[in-house]
């Protein structure tokens, strides 16, 4: 059975990753041989998704006056397509909730994206329980880092990510349902861990949130040059057992 696309890409052009001069720009050689600078909204390291020579898929902007005419959406990583566009998880999540395709969240309806919860804080989504009318707050994270068959988040130190988990904990203490949702945009792994070896502080805050009742969910997505579809739910584990005994840190 063909899966529905929970997000459809605009027409994409195939190219080859050349370099990444800074976190917002990737240099790409298109199939035509033209070398272009491509905008990336992924400010992480894109570990395992940034190897020179990798196949990439980009779109061309409709606005001819935009400074960077191309946008990066997909990178081939170890033979698997990975979605590196961080604007996609929110769109996929919203459409999947509305379609009733996320089993753990079928009791909820989608209310809005980008909900303000404090003077300087926005979370990614607001849901509402269909029977009780209770609000539920959701923070989404795009996951592309894969190591030894497992997925990790974050792929760089993320003070902002830890702050958002702290906000979920505060909302949970007020009695709201709260969810940390990892949208995994690749298919070559089977579980999700916090990345102690990359940002130990984030991992500790994440584990504290689990203890306080914030729910962690992960959904694996299939990525193609046409679109992104939710495949299945993945387990989220509190810590990677391979890391026990290793010193943590934020280097």
Coarse DSSP helix, strand, coil percentages of the chain, rounded to the nearest 5 percent = 20, 40, 40
Q: Are residues 139 and 73 in the same domain?
A: no
Task: Give the DSSP per-residue string, 69-129.
Answer: -EEEEEEEETTEEEE--TTHHHHHHHHHHHHT--GGGTTEEEEEEEEEEETTEEEEEEEEE
Q: Are residues 95 and 189 in the same domain?
A: yes
User: How many Å from the N-terminal Cα to the C-terminal Cα in the chain?
Assistant: 45
Domain contains 196: yes
pLDDT score recorded for residue 1: 45
C-alpha gyration radius of the chain: 18
Q: Are residues 51 and 93 in the same domain?
A: no
Domain contains 2: no
Overall size of the chain counted in residues: 251
Could you tell me how far CA 164 lies from the centroid of its own chain?
Answer: 14
Residue where a domain stops, chosen among 83, 109, 141: 83
Find tokens 């949130």 and name the residue: 209
pLDDT digits (tens, 9 = 90+) for 165-190: 999 999 999 999 999 999 999 999 99
Q: Are residues 31 and 69 in the same domain?
A: yes
pLDDT digits (tens, 9 = 90+) for 219-237: 999 999 999 999 999 999 9
State the residue range of the domain holding 222: 88-243
Q: Are residues 49 and 105 in the same domain?
A: no
Q: Are residues 61 and 101 in the same domain?
A: no
Residue 7 pairs in a beta bridge with 228
Structurally, how many domains does the chain consist of? 2
Q: Are residues 78 and 43 in the same domain?
A: yes
Q: Are residues 116 and 172 in the same domain?
A: yes
pLDDT digits (tens, 9 = 90+) for 66-95: 999 999 999 999 999 999 999 999 999 999
């Amino acid at each position: 059975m063909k899966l529905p696309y929970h997000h459809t890409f605009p027409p994409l052009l195939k190219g080859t990753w050349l370099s990444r001069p800074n976190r917002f720009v990737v240099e790409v050689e298109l199939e035509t041989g033209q070398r272009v600078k491509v905008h990336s909204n992924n400010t992480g390291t894109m570990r395992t998704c940034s190897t020179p020579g990798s196949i990439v898929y980009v779109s061309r902007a409709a606005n001819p006056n935009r400074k960077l005419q191309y946008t990066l959406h997909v990178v081939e990583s170890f033979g698997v397509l990975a979605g590196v566009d961080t604007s996609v998880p929110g769109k996929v999540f919203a459409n999947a909730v509305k379609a009733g395709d996320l089993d753990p969240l079928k009791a909820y309806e989608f209310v809005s994206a980008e909900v303000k919860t404090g003077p300087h804080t926005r979370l990614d989504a607001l849901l509402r329980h269909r029977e009780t009318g209770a609000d539920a707050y959701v923070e989404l994270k795009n996951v592309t880092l894969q190591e030894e068959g497992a997925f990790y988040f974050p792929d760089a130190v993320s003070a902002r990510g830890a702050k958002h988990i702290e906000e979920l904990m505060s909302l949970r203490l007020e009695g709201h349902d709260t969810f940390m949702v990892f949208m995994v945009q690749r298919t070559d792994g089977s579980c999700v861990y916090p990345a102690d070896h990359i940002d130990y502080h984030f991992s500790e805050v994440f584990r504290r949130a689990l203890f306080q009742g914030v729910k962690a969910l992960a959904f694996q997505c299939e990525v193609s040059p046409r679109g992104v579809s939710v495949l299945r739910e993945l387990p989220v584990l509190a810590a990677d057992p391979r890391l026990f005994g290793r010193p943590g840190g934020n280097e």
